Structures are given as C-alpha cells and as structure tokens.
Amino acid sequence: MNVSKPTIPAEIDSSSDVTSLSFTVSESDAGTRLDAYLVAHINRWSRARLQRLIDAGDVLVNSKPGKASYKVSANDQIEVELTPPPESNFTPENIPLEIVFEDDHIIVINKPPGLVVHPAAGVHSGTLANGLAFHFQQLSNAGSIRPGIVHRLDKDTSGLLVVAKTESDHENLTDQFRAREVFKSYVALVYGVVKQQSGSIEQPIARDPRNRTRMAIVAGGRGALSMFKIRRSYDAFTLLDVELKTGRTHQIRVHLSWLKHPVVGDDVYGSGRENNVQDVQLRARIRKLNRHFLHAEQLRFRHPHTGEEMRFAAPLPAELTQFLAAL
C-alpha cells in the first residue's frame, strides 16, 4: 500500500472514530524506536497502550508485525489498527460465578462458555470482569475494566482461570506466566484422525494481515508453542490434550487449524468443516453445540504468597460429554 505520512497525525486521539492509520517514516524520524515513533504521531495514546497494540500484532511494519524495540527506517510503511477502548462506564454486575477456590490472595474460576472475560470493543457489559467486581471487594487493578484478570480464555472456551486479589499477587502470577512456569492443559476435539500420538506445534502468531479480526501463522509474529497428545481417537475426530507453553490470542485454535485439524465447532478457524461430516445427525449436533469444543481442564501454578504448588482440574461441561457420547 502506497501511502503518505498523515499531515495531522497529532489530531488522532483515543476518542476518534478513526480505526486505522498508515504512516511513511520520514528521514528525520529514522532510528527512532517504533513505540516512541507512535507516541510522537498519535496524540493522547500512552506509550503503554501503544505497546499493547504492538504486542497484540495490531502494528505492522512493511506488512509484518512490529516490535516495540524496532528502530524505524526511512520509507518504512507502518500500519496501526486502533483497537478502541471499551466505554468507561464499567459497572459491577450480579453474574453467577463458579468458584473453584478462594483465599485472601487468589480466586480460581471455572468459566462457562459464552462469557467474555473482560470488556472490549463492542462488549461493554455482561463479562467475567463485571461479575468479579460485583462479588469481590478486593481485586488487583481495582477500578479498571480488568479487575483481578491475570490471563484470559476465549469467549466460547470454558474452564479454569486464576484471578488475583492484590497487586503483588497479580505481579507474581504474571511473572510465572511470562516465565512459562504455569501449567495449562486443555481438552480439544478436532476434525479428522490425528496420526501422531503426540507432538508439538511451534509457529509464530500475529494478526492476520488480510483479516484483522483473526489471528494467523505469520512470519515474524510472536513465538508460540503448543504441545499435544491423543486422548482418544474416533472414526472422524480426535480428542486431544493440549498444553500451552505460551499464551497467544487464539493460540490453540490457530495452531490446530494450521495442523489441518481445526477444533470442532470453531466458526472462525474451522468454518465449513462440519459439512464434511458424513453423519447428518452428527453434523446437526455440531451446529447446535453453539460453541467450540475447547476446555481449559487443568491449571497448576505456585501460590503467589506461600509458594505452594496449586493444582486444579475442571471436568468437561455436560454439553461436551454428551457430544462425545454421541460419537
């Protein structure tokens, strides 16, 4: 895309309805860090917020995901997807929550499918975060739209999440996730018969340059590693245990789709695959499932205060066990 540098970039701010920007780096800006360049050219967006856009793959440099530390060169083409912030009127809501464990430092939740973890563009209420703010007096990041939220699950993924009550607990847990010390194991039913009994998928993930609402395997994207092993094989499906070593957006779904075995019920990365299912009744069951077959079954981490190893397991929801019974 041939674009020229906007003449009034400083007038673009967080309240603007502009959703994307394109820049051509001038010679005078060459050598500037990417995050600093964006701070100088996008008014009222903090460096931290712009860095989050970069980390999420929403900033492309010459059509590839950029890194905050990258030093721009003259004539670099920079594209920025301005992910809008949710509305500021965050309200606690009486949303039922399944509490697996709670003490003075952490809460472990078994999240149902269909529940968004926190407000985002287009979703301003009815989230797990709204429910947490209602049920608990003390949470980390109090007053924000992500109270207590340390990590996320996709809307239609069910299973275990750990929530922090204090800032120090939040920081400790975040460090554990960053150091890959947290054990996260998922159950996924995928289309087709997986031939390898076990294996690993190590492919970089970033925003899909052709469709910014999706993630994709992109050269230069953020490193992502998923480990899998077969739990059970069926005639046209395979039930997998998948361990996440990293936590990229939609990681399991993108990796398994790349493996040519997308998750059953995944309308984003496996759309249309149910049409290949020969059994008409089973095909109808997939469409009526109204979620993807992905469940965060096991979670292990060190307690942020005591250092004790914490182990949790959440059984498959009824709709998933019933679906397996139909196979």
Token pair belonging to 53? 């856009």
d(CA 147, CA 170): 10
DSSP state of 245: S
DSSP letters along 13-24, please?
A: -TT----EEEEE
CA within 13 Å, CB half, 184: 26
| Nearest of 175, 177, 173, 123 to residue 145 by alpha carbon | 123
Specify whether the CB–CB gap between 257 and 120 falls below 8 A. no
Is 208 noted as a catalytic residue in this protein? Answer: no
| Nearest of 230, 289, 241 to residue 265 by alpha carbon | 289
d(CA 292, CA 275): 15
Specify whether the CB–CB gap between 43 and 10 falls below 8 A. yes
Catalytic residue chosen out of the listed positions 76, 154, 169, 266: 154
Catalytic residues: 154
